[in-house]
Structure 1
């Protein structure tokens, strides 16, 4: 079987990057403003300077976290989904181990999360995949597992194919190779 590859849709991908960059710049700008002169921004919602300073620090930390995610995403040369007889390669996720073997998959479904359709890939050997993760990827891995029952939550908005087509091909190949 030849590999089936779903590549990124460049205009959509660059749009997402642009939105994240605007968010990073805004968070940095307001975070610095609130940290440098907190007394100027005290209001009904932020009753004292300490709260304004803390919000400024959180804004800066959020901007740094988003910057890290953007840098990892831009430097990711494997931003695609590849389906072959070995398994499912999910290059669009920020995990260290992007290959899920067919034998480990227990289910694939489309779920709407915050009004956005996502593909959930359920696996039976979560500990094996969790032990191969590190750093921020491990944090997201554990967080997604707690929230959705699986670490593999795939948002396909930046890909060139529709979510229904991608899911259909995944399920067909999973049933064929499991």
Structure 2
């Protein structure tokens, strides 16, 4: 394949994800500051609500930081060419995933979010290329939970998840995989 397929980041989808993250950060902060106001039958203990608030504010705060970086990222979200898949869709993206290292793809769904896991015969090669300690930990967790450290987040791209999955499977089949 000499043609290059480029899929841009969807700034609209990223803004919507940022709004959602802001809402969860705000709720988390409310749980931290006033947990007694939110005590329900399941969560009567304000300490449990405070812990949930800290986890929510922390996780979605990180999502805000990485999402804001993607919003102002001028690079192409995903490039597919003769070398492989060049991923720039999320915080754990490591750039080029070479065709020779790809053994398949599978979809993982967490809540309503679908993620395309790129299966590899060389996971350590890509984990070692992580940009920072947080990304490295996330990639190791992905590898343990989903069988691969490599994930492509279609919700940040200008393509539907199912179309992206079909496209990558077609390109893999062209290479006899």
Give the TM-score of the pair, scaled to structure 2: 0.78
**2:152 equivalent to 1:147:** no
**Structure 2: tracts of 5 or more residues without a match:** none
Instruction: Quickly say closer, same or farther: Cα 1:4–1:52, change in 2 above 3 A.
Output: closer
Aligned equivalent of 1:106: 103
**Structure 1: tracts of 5 or more residues without a match:** none
C-alpha separation in 1, matches of 2:18 and 2:58: 19
Aligned equivalent of 1:128: 125
C-alpha separation in 1, matches of 2:59 and 2:94: 25
Q: Which of 165, 169, 172 is matched with 2:170 structurally?
A: 172
C-alpha separation in 2, matches of 1:70 and 1:87: 25
Cα deviation code 1:16-62 (max 9, x no counterpart): 2211122222222332334xxx6x77776344x65555455445434
Q: CA RMSD in A?
A: 2.8
Cα deviation code 1:51-88 (max 9, x no counterpart): 55545544543453333333443344335111011110
Instruction: Quickly say closer, same or farther: Cα 1:58–1:93, change in 2 above 3 A.
Output: closer
DSSP 3-state at the match of 1:5: strand
C-alpha separation in 1, matches of 2:135 and 2:27: 25
Counterparts of 1:1-178 in structure 2 under 5 Å?
1-34=2-35, 45-47=43-45, 50-51=47-48, 53-78=50-75, 80-95=77-92, 97-133=94-130, 134-177=132-175
Instruction: Quickly say closer, same or farther: Cα 1:22–1:131, change in 2 above 3 A.
Output: same
DSSP 3-state at the match of 1:120: strand
DSSP 3-state at the match of 2:34: helix
The answer to which of 159-168 and 14-23 deviates more is 159-168
Give how far 1:11 is off. 2.6
